[in-house]
Each structure stands twice: as structure tokens, then as C-alpha cells.
Amino acid sequence: MDDEFAKLIRRVNPPRVVVDNGACQHATFIQVDSVNKHGILLELAQVLSDLNLNVTKAYVSSDAGWFMDVFYVTDNHGNKITDEETLIFVQKTLETKVHFLNSMRSSVGSTPSKDHTLIELTGSDRPGLVSELSAVLADMGCNVVNAEIWTHNARAAAVIHVVDNSTQHAIEDPKRVSMIKELLFNVMRGDSDVRTPSARMSVSSSGGTHRGRRLHQLLYADRDFERPDDVEFKISKEPRVSVLDCSDRDYTVVTIRCLDRPKLLFDTVCCLTDMEYVVFHGTVITGRMDAYQEYYIRHVDGFPVSSEAEQQRVMECVEAAIERRTTEGLELEVIREDGLGVVADITRIFRENGLCIKRAEISSSKGGKAKGSFFVTDVGGNSVDPKTVDMIQKQIGQGCLKVKGNSFLSPKETTTSFLFGNLFKGRSFQSFNLIKPCS
């Protein structure tokens, strides 16, 4: 009966997505109304993130089985989206996602196929790690289709999709899979990993868990939020997270102040969702290079955070989720002809020139090109010498290496103060003006 009633509610109240360029002078306005479902806010944030849209403001409200989310978004240059085809695509993509989620009984998944082999790795970070992993895959005849590697607090996680170089399909031979897994496990273990590293392989389709979300999950499971005493995290401005009781409303309030950057909303909501908290109300405001986020949450069992220890854990995990993608370093983009061992060759050159890869995203295209974005420092975590970049340019090939601007990763300290205060104090969401003109 409950399931039939839920279906009736969905039919009577279909989800609605509005994309409007006239509501705000400096950003594109997006409003999503639908029957509520745990995790739907994360899915929306994921869509906006994958479309490379930056959220400058957001208002979230979900009560009594219904939610209304409002987003103000810009492109990577800080401009509103003006192309009509792009606007239609954004609206259709969000509508498809919401309709699909509302039709699902459980979390989003996919049916496995034989497109590629999925490799997931966690372990200790160290200089040359990515180069060693790439060399193993090349030696075993594995061609990297796409990969993403994150490092944080001396830990590393990787999600890699590979195919057999001879067949361009997933690797199915159990003996070969077992050998590759063992070799990768040995690389992740290194000489002195006090924690047990992880190396998992499976045949997978192009769907499944979102890669960014999976990296968050892997590092969270590896307890990267526990900062070693001998590790100094180098960012210009560390995030400030507070977790407080809101006893009069039976919520827990999570407040975040940090440097603004792309995909920030996705990272924070991903953390809270995977820790099994539900965001009932929230706001996101950015100004200059700063970001302010405030969420009213409860655990999925309906109760707020119950102890100081749990509050501390939420603070640590949200801070870690923000920091994972905030690694400082020089961004180097490499585009070369694709083929077996091309990733191993690039990462070997980095290693031989004393560079340490802090984060990387690698993909191959149908045009036969391999593209990689690498965030690098020297082995001490310091800035890269321009002479080193010149040497790498010569070794990789003229025109193949590009130094990209990464001001959002290591901006100068700003003197902007946070004057937002507690935006919800003393107000009810029934009277809160969610849809505001922005100037």
C-alpha cells in the first residue's frame, strides 16, 4: 500500500525543472521541484558538477516528502549560460535524472557488461606511486581507458578503467586478473604501509557509482580524515567546519567556510550523504574567492547528531572531503597519441624529473588521443621549478605539454570576512524566501 501510495504521489506531482536566465543578472537560475528521496540532492549536485557548472548560490528545502532546490550557476569563466542549446541540454539532463531517481526503489546502479575492467586501489601515498602503477599495467598489456587518482593525508586512492590492449575489451582470464591484482597490491603496499592496502578488480560497464563519489568513499573507508602527526597539509586557507545542535528544531547544523572552487557543493553533499545524513534545509553562498555553506541535517534514522564524538567525526570528514580536491600544485595538461604504455611513459618522465603527482585525471578519446591533467609538486611538496617544466616539455614533446592556470587551487589569502551569519536563525522555512533576485 505504501508503495502504491508513493506511485500515486509521483503521478499527481511530477518533478519539474525550471531553467531561467531572466531571474538573475549574473547567473543562470535553476529550480528543481520533486517528491523527495534520500540522495537526490547529491545526484543533482553531481549533474551540475559533471556539466562543469559552478554553483554561486543554492537554497535547499525538503520537508513532508517534497523538496525544492534552487541553484544559481555560471560557467568556468563566471558567466551565465547563454547558449540556448546548452540551456535545453541542462534542463533535459536534470529532468531525466529526477524522473529516473523517482522511478527507482533503491540507489542508482547499473547492469555489468564487458566494456572494461574496473580497478580500485587504496594505500600509502609516496613519490613515484602513479608511475609504478602505470608501469605494471603497461607490462601486463592493459590499456588505460580513463583513470582518476587522489591523494590526501599521506593516503592515495585510484579508480582506473582498463581494457586488454589486444582485444580492446575487458580482461576476463581469471589467472591474468589475479596476477595483475597481486602486482598492483604489492605496489600499493610499498615497504612500510602500516594499514592494509586494497586492490580490487571487476568487470564493469561505463555506468556504476560516479567516479568522484567512489574516490570519496575509498578514502573515507581508508580513514584519510585521520591526519598523521608528521603530515603537514599545505593549502592557503584550511576549511573551517562547525557542527552545532539546533535543539529547538531537532536538527544538527553543519557550517562550512572555505575557499570557493569548482565541485565544492558536490564534495560536501557527497560526504554527508555517504555518512548517511539527510540534508533537510541548506544554503550556499559564494563571494569573491570564499564560500559559505550551511546545512540542517539529521541521520537517516531521523535523529540529529547525538554526541560530541559524532560531531567531531562529521567535522573531520567534511574537512577531508573538501581538502581531497584542494591539493595545491602546478597543473600540467598532456595530450599525446594514445597507445599501450603512454601513461606509463608520461608518469615515468615526471618521476625522473623529481615531480610528485598529487592528483590526476586521465582519459582517452575516440580520435586516438590520450589526455591527462596532473597536479604536481616537487618531492617536498613545494612549487615546481620552471626549469623542470622546460626539461619535461622537451622529453614529452613540443606541443604536448601545457601549463594550465590553477588559481582556484592556491589563491592568495583574501581579507574577505564572512558576514553571512546564521541565515536560518529565528526563521521558519515556510516563510523563508527561497527564490531571491541576485544583483
Same domain, yes or no: 36 and 125: no
Same domain, yes or no: 169 and 269: no
Packing angle between helix 342-352 and helix 386-396, nearest 10 degrees?
150
Whether 426 maps to a domain, the answer reads: no
Same domain, yes or no: 127 and 212: yes
Same domain, yes or no: 269 and 339: no
Q: What is the pTM of this model?
A: 0.86
Report whether 284 contacts 265 (CB < 8 A): yes
Whether 432 maps to a domain, the answer reads: no
Q: Summarize pLDDT for 182-236 with one digit per residue, the tens.
A: 999 999 987 666 677 888 887 665 556 899 999 999 999 999 999 876 555 555 5
The per-residue pLDDT for 193 is 64
Q: What's the half-sphere exposure (Cβ side, CA atoms, 13 Å) at 439?
A: 0
Same domain, yes or no: 125 and 103: no
Same domain, yes or no: 221 and 177: yes
Q: Summarize pLDDT for 268-294 with one digit per residue, the tens.
A: 999 999 999 999 999 999 988 899 999
Q: Which of 355, 418, 411, 346 is nearest to 385 (CA)?
A: 355
Same domain, yes or no: 211 and 333: yes
Give how far Cα 305 sits from Cα of 29, 60, 118, 314, Å: 33, 20, 36, 9
For residue 406, pLDDT over 60 is answered with: no
Q: Summarize pLDDT for 53-106 with one digit per residue, the tens.
A: 999 999 999 876 788 999 999 998 999 999 999 999 999 999 988 888 776 543
Q: Which range has highest mean pLDDT (7-11, 63-67, 174-178, 420-424)?
A: 174-178
Q: Summarize pLDDT for 180-197 with one digit per residue, the tens.
A: 999 999 999 876 666 778
The 3-class secondary structure across 46-74, one letter per residue, is: HHHHHCCCEEEEEEEEEECCEEEEEEEEE
Q: Are strands 277-287 and 290-299 parallel, antiparallel or unpaired?
A: antiparallel
Report whether 302 contacts 207 (CB < 8 A): no
Number of domains in the chain: 2
Rg (CA), the chain: 23
d(CA 29, CA 218): 34
Same domain, yes or no: 87 and 140: no
Range of the domain at 190: 116-226+327-404
Whether 364 maps to a domain, the answer reads: yes
d(CA 268, CA 314): 11
Same domain, yes or no: 351 and 374: yes
Same domain, yes or no: 125 and 216: yes
- Once rounded to an integer, what is the mean pLDDT over residues 336-355? 95
